[in-house]
Each structure stands twice: as C-alpha cells, then as structure tokens.
Chains A and B, each alone.
Chain A
Amino acid sequence: DSGVTQTPKHLITATGQRVTLRCSPRSGDLSVYWYQQSLDQGLQFLIQYYNGEERAKGNILERFSAQQFPDLHSELNLSSLELGDSALYFCASSSGQGKEGSPLHFGNGTRLTVT
C-alpha cells in the first residue's frame, strides 16, 4: 500500500459530462502529481502541485483543471468529456518539490470510461 488514496476506483460517464477525481497524498507529502495513462500513450504528466500551489504543468487540456486544498488533498476536474479521455488517471505524491529526487508514490488510479 503506497499510502496514496484515489477515489473513485471506476467512473463511467457520457460524452459532454464533467467529473471530479479525488486524491489524498501520503501523510507528510506536500507534492501531488496527476498522470494520465491511455492504452496507446503510456504515462503522460498532467500537472503538479506543491503545498497548494501549481508547480509544473504538462500536457493538460484546457478542459481539465486541478487544485490542491489546504489539507493537501487534490482534485482533478475533467469537463466536456470526449471518448478519447477514457484512460487510467493516476495521482502520485512525494515529500518535496522534485529537486531532492524523492520518488513518487502512486495511488491505484481511477479508471474513467467515457461512453
């Protein structure tokens, strides 16, 4: 058990809808990362937050947004969903911002299916 909790485990929704994915980091970790894993694209970095502030942005679509709350949990909001958004969405956490090389600890992911 990595200590990172993601909810829900599975989500099935229709095109055009909006969903929210939730992540609680490991105790003591200040950084939260979101990754998307599609069947044909491997693991794509979306966004990183450190102690409530955005630190790095990757290939995150404008339809997607995220935030990290004062209690350090994070939410990833996906709107105007398309079939191509179907994927496994991972949250990961680490103790630092990145330069110290602390490994990322991953949650079990949320499987999103858009129909």
Chain B
Amino acid sequence: AQTVTQSQPEMSVQEAETVTLSCTYDTSESDYYLFWYKQPPSRQMILVIRQEAYKQQNATENRFSVNFQKAAKSFSLKISDSQLGDAAMYFCAYRSAETSGSRLTFGEGTQLTVNP
C-alpha cells in the first residue's frame, strides 16, 4: 500500500516571503499522480496543484510550484510571495495510475501560519 508522509506538522512564514512544505511518499508503482490540497479554516478542501509522475517538468500554478524528485520519492510545495490567505492546512496526496478505482491517499498535513 502507498503511504504519504509530511514530516512538518507546522510551518510559519512572513508575509511576502517564500516557504517550502515537504512531502515524501512510498510506492512500488511507476505511474501515479501527486497533489497538494489546501484546507483553510472554513474546512473546505481546495486543489492547489497536480503533478503527473511521468512528466519530468515540475508543475506550477501562479505562486505555487512543486519540486518533484521521482527517484527520491519527494514532492515538495513552494509558495512564493506568501499571502495571509495562504494560511491553511496543506495536504499532500497520492493517486495510483495503475489501479482502477484508485483512492487519493493523504499525508497527515502541515499547518501553515502566515505572519503579517
């Protein structure tokens, strides 16, 4: 079974600065997808970014980018020019591309605080 680990329960960043959230995963599969979701205090789950494992190019969405290291099974999220609205719990997630009916497996989450 696949597992996702987020080793930083909490992180903080100053407004306008850059922060990187870590995520590692364990899998024996070669084809899969990785995601970052954001959960603000409203508790809504919001998709931040998606990465396809067979693509070497790192995904980018505006101020959000990832550093995908397939061999190291690492998938970190970089938030540039942090804003107060970025404060949330961030979840890393894995989804198999080799199994039909594949679930999204989540890490434990990293609580990000943005200081003004």
Contacts and interface: CB of A to CB of B under 8 A. Distances in A.
Contact of B108 (A42, A55, A101): A42
B43 A98 contact: no
A58 B101 contact: no
Contact of B43 (A56, A103, A105, A108): A108
Nearest to B44: A108
B102 interface: yes
Q: Which bucket holds chain B's interface residue count?
A: 20 to 34
B106 A43 contact: yes
Nearest to A58: B103
Interface residues of A, number: 24
A48 B43 contact: no
Interface in A85-115: 88, 90, 92, 97-101, 103-106, 108-109
B101 A55 contact: yes
A64 interface: no
Most-contacted residue by chain B among A48, A105, A106 (CB, 10 A): A106
Contacts of B100: 55, 97-99
Nearest to A109: B43
A43 B108 CA distance: 8
B77 to A, nearest CB: 15
Nearest to A53: B101
Interface in B92-111: 95-109
The 9 closest A-B pairs by CB, nearest first: A55-B101, A98-B102, A106-B45, A101-B33, A56-B101, A43-B106, A45-B103, A97-B100, A103-B47
